[in-house]
Amino acid sequence: MLIYKILLPPEWAVLDSTGRFDGTPFDKESGFIHCSSRAQVAGVAKRVFAGEPALVVAAADAGALGDTVRWEEASDGGLYPHIYGTLPRDAVVAVYPVPGADAVDAALPPE
């Protein structure tokens, strides 16, 4: 199963160049890396990243992340995947540069 992490281009550059991503300041404050399912990712992009002119959506293999991934209820009642640890580059199986939040759904393959 794939899970998706929405990143700003400089965040993706860190992940790609260092081989790991330890989270955004918000992730670190939360204690885990916020991710989304395919069904959730476009809505999250529009809600959280609406003003950003460019995004990178990294698709990660949840199986490769093992028990660091937990599906937990968010304030909207939905279950979201959270990574308790780092996101290693080798778990990322696809990368989608997109021109803003409104383009996320069309840029990703269907579920």
Q: Where do the structural domains in the chain lie, given as residue ranges?
A: 2-102
Distance separating alpha carbons of residues 54 and 80, to the nearest angstrom: 23
The residue count of the chain comes to 111
Mean pLDDT for the stretch of residues 69-79: 93
pTM for this prediction: 0.95
Please state, in angstroms and rounded to a whole number, the distance separating the CA atoms of residues 89 and 84.
Answer: 15
**CATH architecture label of 2-102:** Alpha-Beta Barrel (3.20)
Q: Phi/psi at 92 (nearest 5 deg)? A: -80, 120
* Predicted pLDDT at 36: 97
Q: How far apart are CA 1 and CA 81, in angstroms?
A: 11
Q: How is residue 28 annotated by DSSP?
A: H
Measure CA 7 to chain center: 7
